[in-house]
Amino acid sequence: MGLMHRLRFVRDHRLTHNRMSDYLDGEVPANTRERIRKHLDECEECSTWFDGMRVIVSELARFRRSKEPEVATAVLAGVREGLEEDDGRGG
């Protein structure tokens, strides 16, 4: 892996961690979405993390449609808060 590729990888690794929640929600600009998508194709760690987050969000959406949507909302808020705290770890 060349130096420029490695620098881009590290930069996009941080970006992916910092914007994962926004990416899942479709709330990132097209250029950022493309950078994250490419990074997910290249980084097994981020790809695994993303797949897990996608499952959690999907299950919470299903749960939200159940009889206790306030529980799902509270859990999702906790997950998002945890992600925001993880953003401070420096990628």
HEC assignment per residue over 6-42? HHHHHHHHHHHHHHHHHHHCCCCCHHHHHHHHHHHHH
**pLDDT tier, 90 (very low <50, low <70, confident <90, very high otherwise):** very low
Judge if pTM exceeds 0.75: no
Q: Would the pLDDT of 1 be above 70?
A: no
**pLDDT tens string 17-60:** 899 989 998 999 999 999 999 999 999 999 999 999 888 888 77
- What pLDDT, on the 0 to 100 scale, is given for residue 68? 66
Query: What separation in angstroms does the CA of 8 have from each of 2, 36, 39, 57, 71?
Result: 10, 12, 9, 28, 40
- The gap from C-alpha 54 to its chain's centroid, in whole angstroms, comes to 8
Distance, in Å, from the CA atom of 66 to the CA atom of 68, rounded to the nearest integer, reads: 6
**pLDDT tier, 79 (very low <50, low <70, confident <90, very high otherwise):** confident
